[in-house]
Amino acid sequence: MRGKLLFVAGAAVGYVLGARAGRERYDQLKAAAAKAWESPAVQKQVHAAEDFVSRKVGEFPETVYITVKKLVVQANSRRREARAPYPSPAAEAAIRAGDGRSDTSS
């Protein structure tokens, strides 16, 4: 929740600054943000985060594969069940009667 609040606050501040300052100030802010992003300290942390995520992701792809496979099998079986034709009322009557013929006669 705190992260969402900070994001919204940052977006609002950015919008207000951008609307008040105009294009020139926006370009200055953009250049400052790019300079900060490309700084060695920030890039070091970015690479550390990437390494952490890649290590964690590498631990469970088989589990994800198995889980997704089970979900697909379940979805397909439910779809087949939903497609199964239901007997008509005449066929149901014939089944109940046990003679293979319907109860309706013309």
Per-residue model confidence (pLDDT) at position 39: 92
Q: Which runs of E-coded beta strand occur in the chain?
A: none
At 29-43, the pLDDT tens digits run 889 989 998 999 989
At 43-81, the pLDDT tens digits run 999 999 988 888 877 767 777 888 888 999 888 887 777
Check whether 102 has a pLDDT greater than 50: no
Distance, in Å, from the CA atom of 83 to the CA atom of 99, rounded to the nearest integer, reads 27
Nearest to 6 by CA among 16, 14, 50: 14
Per-residue model confidence (pLDDT) at position 13: 82
Q: Give the CB-side neighbour count of residue 101, counting CA atoms within 13 A.
A: 5
